[in-house]
Structure 1
Amino acid sequence: MFFNRYRAAGNYYNECVARGSCSTSPEIRSLQEVILIFLRQLAFYELKLDELNASYFENKDTIIEGVVTLIATGEYSHEQMLEIVSKIYSKMLYARKEYLNFCSEHNLKCEDLKFTLKLNPKMTLPDIIQSGEKAFLLRYKKISPQQKNLNEILVMVIKSVSANLIRLKEYDKFDDVAYKNMLNCLNSLNYPRTSADKIKENIDNLARIDINLIDMLEQSQKERFGEITKKLVPQTTKPGKAVLVSGTNLQNLYEILQKSKDMKLDIYTHSDLLIGHAFSVMEEFKNLKGHYGSCFSNCVLDFATFPGAILLTKNTYPNIEYLYRGKLFSAEEIPPKGVIQIKEDDYSPLFEAAMEAKGFTHGREVEPVEVGYDKEETLAKIHSISEKINSGEIEHLLIIGLSDNSDTQEEYFRKLYALLPEKSFVITFSYHYRTENELYVNLVNNLPEAYNFLKEIFALVPVNSENISFFFTKCDANSISNIINLSNLGAKHIYLTQCPPYVINHNLLSTLKSLYHIMPTTVPSKDIEKILAE
């Protein structure tokens, strides 16, 4: 389970604004609290058992998947939520029993937790929600507002680390050191007296570990799918039966291409899987026909108009509640409500649905889109930018991060570009306007590749340079983790887009501003004034 779980705002925010439903309901918040309580308790027993050499991280899948589930609770039915909560609770009880039995058998005096929340088989989901509300209120009565905000930031970094650990598993890799550090941070939430300084120390340490995971992911992608290249991707459809593969999971895309290569099926990517076309290994598949739709503006419309079967790759949670579901499939252990589950990597139900569907009766001409980059050509441009900064020809370098391309931000950056002074330059991974003072690299929200690209820049232009202003255009857990790292590395000017309050509320933003010197974007004219004054 993963992203777009860790893209908490993203496309969902664009669509929920239109429906007037952008909020985290009290019920969802309470369920998240219940899950978090059981996860931190499970982390306690997991660590204790490891200390005693009684077991070796037997619950790591339950814990990291449970943490990432916190982002996607709104996509589950009541029955699925009961299943998730019950699974984590039963795992926690079993770990506790195993721990206490070990202590008893070896005559050890062992620490145990006081339970603030207990379940019984007769409890319904509303009962659990009510218990979660009480636990939520009780928890925050015991700590200061600063501790509360720091704990929320810590949970965001825990989510980011967990998501990246899950992605590593897709490449048959894991990082036990990162996992244990994440466990210790999760366990720290059991102790309300943890000082604000200690919580911040935990945040900073875990964020550094998160960067190492991103580096491992970039290496893993390269090993499995080859080098990134520059590719002109067709968006034109052709007559025939088709499968749409949506999300971020490159491994799922590869499996679909491999297993359907001898079938009369055309495979189209969707959403962030556009980047798949840029990897050299994917070029081997003639059944990979192109990219379909524009999820950045309306995922629901894309899915509703696609005349074939659709796979939501692992770790993908778009907003699908209003879709026709008979053609939607997912490889998740617990798929979104109404979506057909793919089990044991058997994609035959997906392929059968595609063959039975109408398919494209005629082609549709759409302009191709460029994705990826030519490494040699781009490195030459980065060297040129570095030389111009050193000579004073470039005084202000703006780096615009990955984005889900909202209309609001599109308007913001269009105006910002228009106000840029002569001696400025923009390196952007998202919003671009084909100006002479711009280097656009389309990596389609593939963070490991973006991170690798930034390393090339920082090798020539120090991250703590007074000349650089960073613009973060996403409000997800991974972005917050990256912001913390940049700030700790000495980045001077970090701007964060206006985030929906259900993702980052005012108090949380104030803490990020004071501790990590983040500046929320306002209006382009005022932000340009700040940049020029820096």
Structure 2
Amino acid sequence: MFCHQCEQTARSADGDGCASTRGNCGKDATTADLQDLLIHAVKGLAQVARAGRGVGIVDREVGRFISHAVFTTLTNVNFTPARFIAMIGEAVAHRERLLDAMRASGGTIPALAGPATFRPATDLLALLAQAPAIGIRAGEDVVGPDVIGLRSLLLYGLKGVSAYVYHARVLGAEADEVYAGLEDTLDYLAQDPTDLEDMLAQALALGRLNLTVMEMLDAANISSFGIPEPTVVAVTPRRGKAILVSGHDMLDLTAILEATAGKGINVYTHGEMLPANAYPVFKKYPHLAGNYGGAWQEQQAEFSAFPGPIVMTSNCLIEPRPAYRQRIFTTGPVGWPGLRHIENRDFAPVIAAALALPGFTEEPQPQTITIGFARHTVLGVADKVIDAVKAGAIRHFFLVGGCDGAAPGRNYYTEFAEGTPQDTVVMTLGCGKYRFNRHEFGDIGGIPRLLDLGQCNDSYSAIRIAGALAEAFGCGINDLPLSLVVSWFEQKAAAVLLTLVALGVRNIRLGPTLPAFLTPTLIGVLVERFGIQTITTAEADIAASLQRAA
């Protein structure tokens, strides 16, 4: 195996990437190779789908399959070899079905090459033997590491976009042009591109596509659950039976709340599900008891201590410990060998487990946090914010957020947020906020100094807020008293980064390390063209941000 798609990848003098029998995320070599083969098969499907569009054949099922299949290859989503073998077969079946439709239509079928001709072996060992020829580093000795690095950026950005497409589609929001965008990018990668300038242009186009997808997802969340509003959320448990719901899929959370109504079971959010507590729809459920725990990387300790079943609805899953392996369930794209997978939102086994387990027998001293400062709330008081800036009461805005992780160096984000001056505002989103969201930041003239904008899925809120402030002040986003300090971990963050640079946002501080797939040459390009900066120390970076703004 070889994998370098996330921030926790192994780094050594021999080359950066997980290349042993097991990655740092917990996936074994078999799963890693099968994921590579699935991506290869999906590229071939995209080649045929794109050709089909040229003769008027459009199949949404193909787009749906692609977004779901690619999502399963993100870091910490699915670790089940049998599922990947099945999806490889599904990709080929979809491809052949499209070819049959093209033949039936009388259209001209173009000559197919590369992934579009892939025939997966019928037994596991032979299938795995096909993996080395199609892995992310295949051909590096010919094209060089810069080409491989930029292909990786495109692929990993595409994985993040696919995840957002899946989240939107679950809520009923989809568009043929979005599916076409995914297919176009996969078709482009299937050609093994080598021109760095052209690949960079493709990456920016992918960033613009992701902006469209995030707008769709934002609209789908609002139409499904209402407009988020400032909400005080308990972060200590109640006495009673309990279910914990983690991940991003709020439709799963809705189904669990409906199924547990009146059964004496309290439901808690975890990780990126925390923002659900701010949506009006969820406030009608008195047994939505608040949030338990913090970011994903703490789950092994937190899930071991939780006295009820746990449901993982999306990334980020870590290998379950024996202490809770029998009471953790997966849904949607998520999977781990031996775990029970919920189909069709039938959560009866989860409810049975909750009733059989003890739940919380004591209630600690109550603690709360305040969330729900999405764009509608912030822009609703934009006049007060603008007046505070003009009066000098607010000197600067910091967006401190992104994906958290377990690697050393992430305490930087705690130190940064807590070290910001009292006349500045900190906006945050993603699970990175758990580094500091229990800290008391106070307010500026009634405007909270800490504004929790929501999930990483809510990055569109941050973009809209920045755009509205720039319009109000009659300047560009880069001229605002605003600094972006972003922690990255997996491929959704890569997609958001591409969106930000496609919008022309400069001087983003990225950490705690830069992606392993970026070579020194590529880092130089990102620095020169987009002003990407590495983090240093919290104190120095705060000072530099304020000095630049002045």
The two structures share one fold, judged by TM-score above 0.5 = yes
What is the CA–CA distance in structure 1 between the aligned matches of 2:452 and 2:166, rounded to whole Å? Answer: 25
CA distance in 2, matches of 1:415, 1:334: 33
Return the offset for 1:197.
Answer: 2.5
Could you tell which deviates more after superposition, 157-166 or 403-412? 403-412
Residue 318 of structure 2 aligns to which amino acid in structure 1?
Answer: N
Contact 1:397 1:427 in 2 (8 A): yes
Q: How does 1:63-82 map to 2 (within 5 A)?
A: 63-72=66-75, 75-82=78-85
The structural deviation recorded for 1:355 is 1.2
| Contact 1:80-1:334 within 8 A present in 2 as well | no
Q: Measure how far apart 1:521 and its partner are.
A: 0.8
Between the aligned partners of 1:58 and 1:64, the Cα distance in structure 2 is 10
Q: How far 1:107 sits from its partner (Å)?
A: 7.8
Question: Structure 2 matches for 1:93-492, cutoff 5 A?
Answer: 94-95=96-97, 97-98=99-100, 101-102=103-104, 106=106, 108=108, 110-114=110-114, 118-124=119-125, 127-136=126-135, 137-193=137-193, 195-295=195-295, 298-313=298-313, 315-323=314-322, 324-332=324-332, 335-373=335-373, 378-379=378-379, 382-387=382-387, 389=389, 396-404=396-404, 411-416=411-416, 426-429=426-429, 430=433, 431=436, 434=441, 439-448=449-458, 450-461=459-470, 462-465=476-479, 467-492=481-506
Could you tell me which residue of structure 1 aligns to residue 48 of structure 2?
45
Q: Is the 8 A contact 1:383 1:460 kept in 2?
A: no
Determine the C-alpha separation between the residues in 1 that align with 2:6 and 2:26.
12
- Paired letter, 1:289: A
Give the partner amino acid of 2:465. Answer: E
Distance 2:26 2:296 in 1: 20
Structure 1, unmatched stretches of 5+, are: 1-6
Question: In structure 1, what is the Cα distance between the partners aligned to 2:50 and 2:170?
Answer: 25
Q: Once the 2 structures are TM-superposed, how far is the Cα of residue 496 of structure 1 from its aligned partner?
A: 0.5
Q: Name 2:527's counterpart in structure 1.
A: 513
Pick which of 331-340 and 278-287 moved more. 331-340
Deviation at 1:407, TM superposition (A): 8.5
Partner Cα distance (1:332, 1:374) in 2: 26
Go from structure 1 to structure 2 and tell me whether the alpha carbon gap of 1:279 and 1:58 turns closer, same or farther (over 3 Å shift): closer
Q: 1:154 to 1:245 in 2, by over 3 A?
A: same
Over 3 Å counting, the alpha-carbon distance change for 1:97 and 1:228 in structure 2 is closer
**Aligned equivalents of 2:394, 2:240: Cα separation in 1:** 51
Alpha carbons 2:6, 2:515 under 8 Å: kept? no
User: What SS does the corresponding residue of 1:522 show, helix, strand or coil?
Assistant: coil
Structure 2 CA distance for aligned equivalents of residues 34 and 515 of structure 1 = 34
Question: What amino acid maps onto 2:373 in structure 1?
Answer: Y
Pairwise CA RMSD = 3.6
Distance, in Å, in 2 between the alignment partners of 1:514 and 1:439 is 33
The answer to whether the 8 Å contact 2:400/2:428 transfers is yes
- In the alignment, which of 494, 513, 524 is matched to residue 508 of structure 2? 494
Q: TM-score, length-normalised on structure 1?
A: 0.84
Instruction: Give the CA deviation at 1:208.
Output: 1.0
Report whether the alignment pairs 1:91 with 2:94: yes
Whole-Å separation in 2 of the counterparts to 1:503 and 1:194: 16
Q: Distance in 2 between matches of 1:101 and 1:456?
A: 49
Counterpart amino acid of residue 345 in structure 2: D
Task: Report the more deviating stretch, 391-400 or 145-154.
Answer: 391-400
Query: Which residue identity is paired with 1:523?
Result: T
| Residue pair 1:468, 1:492 contacting (<8 A) in 2 also | no
**Range with bigger deviation, 164-173 or 72-81:** 72-81
Quickly say closer, same or farther: Cα 1:287–1:203, change in 2 above 3 A: same
- 8 Å contact kept, 2:160–2:492: yes
TM-score, structure 2 normalization? 0.82
Looking at structure 2, the residues matched to 177 and 107 of structure 1 have their Cα atoms a distance apart, in angstroms, of: 22
Counterpart CA distance in 2 for 1:485 and 1:128 is: 36
Cα distance between partner residues in 2 of 1:226 and 1:111 = 49
Amino acid aligned to 1:33: D
Residues 67-102 of structure 1 show CA distances to partners (whole Å, capped at 9, x for unaligned) of: 11221478423333333333334433x247526744
Q: CA, structure 1 residues 285+504, in 2 after alignment: closer, same or farther (shift >3 Å)?
A: farther
**8 Å contact from structure 2 (residues 204, 498) kept in 1:** yes
Structure 2: which 5+ runs fail to align?
Answer: 12-17, 471-475
In the alignment, the residues of structure 1 paired with residue 307 and residue 277 of structure 2 have an alpha-carbon distance, to the nearest angstrom, of 22
Which segment drifts farther, 33-42 or 466-475?
A: 466-475
Q: Measured at CA, do residues 533 and 129 of structure 1 come closer, stay the same or move farther in structure 2, by a change above 3 Å?
A: farther
